[in-house]
Amino acid sequence: MKFTLPTNGVANDSASPKRSRAVLRWCSEKWRAVLGELISTSLLVLFGCMACVPYEDGAAPVPGYAPLAFGFAVLFNIQAFGHISGAHMNPAVSVAAVVWGSLSPALAVFYIIAQCCGSILGFGLLTWFTPLPLEPDAICSTLPRTGVSDAQALVVEIALSAALMLLNCAVWDPVNGHLQDGVPLKFGFVIAGLSFAGAHFTGASMNPARSLGPALWNGSWESHWVYWLGPIISGVVFTLLYKHVLTKRKQED
């Protein structure tokens, strides 16, 4: 939303109420979407990270639990919040939506703030009702595995996030309007599959907000920048690739 600032006092007096009304109108229209991002991201982190909590005897959960939990949490959130906010749950997806042209930069800022707050809230709830301390083992924190450098982890996160961004673009593409059935299922299974593929390299975050909450509560900031830079690079590069290269070829065909 763009406001033009008047240059004289009289105009400023008359414009201020109009500006205020415009801001209030914008907020009244968009607050539900921002709230949807806050709630959906908190549920994503809460339910996904619940599957990472060790058993009572300290044994680690079955490795496949977390990818399935995150995948099904995404499935649920898209079905429940997709019509409210788009159910991005991910700053990189919101950046991609700005590049695509379906989300304004101003609203994207509010989305990203809500997503980060939602992640912190979701993992905070988990630490509150979990009887075992989560901090010593950095439960649910995304970290490169031993032997994987930050540069290698960055490439892995870019690759995993690229698949997610291309899927988003394919869903946003009006050419695929007749293929929208089962979108929540598609995203849920893709997230689960990508998590299975990349979890033992980087934790398969693909989502800066998903990594933020556990990092904050566990104090595990090692290589945290990887989980912001990688997905956002993919959000920009592969959205541009799809928008200006892949769709152009399709139209030419």
Reply yes or no on whether the pLDDT at 198 is more than 60: yes
- Looking at domain 22-252, its CATH class is mainly alpha
CA-wise closest residue to 44 among 215, 192, 210, 224 = 210
Reply yes or no on whether the pLDDT at 1 is more than 90: no
CA 147 to chain centre: 27
The 3-state DSSP class for residue 60 equals coil
Contact 188, 71 (CB under 8 A): yes
Contact 70, 44 (CB under 8 A): yes
* Dihedral sign (CA 182, 183, 189, 193): positive
Distance CA 194, CA 71 (A): 9
Reply yes or no on whether the pLDDT at 132 is more than 90: no
The pLDDT > 90 percentage for the chain reads: 73
pTM score, whole prediction? 0.87
Number of H helices, E strands in the chain: 9, 0
Domain limits, the chain: 22-252
Reply yes or no on whether the pLDDT at 139 is more than 70: yes
Which pLDDT value is given to residue 252? 47
Average pLDDT rounded to a whole number, residues 157-164: 98
CA-wise closest residue to 52 among 143, 147, 163 = 143
Mean pLDDT of the chain: 89
Average pLDDT rounded to a whole number, residues 34-43: 97
Reply yes or no on whether the pLDDT at 193 is more than 60: yes
H/E/C letters for each residue in 20-51? HHHHHHHHHHHHHHHHHHHHHHHHHHHHHHHC
Distance CA 91, CA 69 (A): 20
Average pLDDT rounded to a whole number, residues 3-19: 54
Which pLDDT value is given to residue 13? 55
CA angle 61/62/68 to nearest 5° reads 105
What single letter denotes the amino acid at residue 84? I
Reply yes or no on whether the pLDDT at 242 is more than 80: yes
User: Torsion-angle region of residue 101: left (phi > 0), alpha (psi -120 to 50) or beta?
Assistant: left
Average pLDDT rounded to a whole number, residues 236-240: 98
The pLDDT > 70 percentage for the chain reads: 88
Distance CA 177, CA 170 (A): 9
How many Cα neighbours within 13 Å face the side chain of 103? 27
Which tops the pLDDT comparison, 228 or 56? 228
Which pLDDT value is given to residue 126? 95
Least confident of 12-26, 63-77, 96-110, 122-136: 12-26
Which pLDDT value is given to residue 5? 39
- Token pair 């680690």 is found at 60
- Residue 248: pLDDT band (50, 70, 90) is low
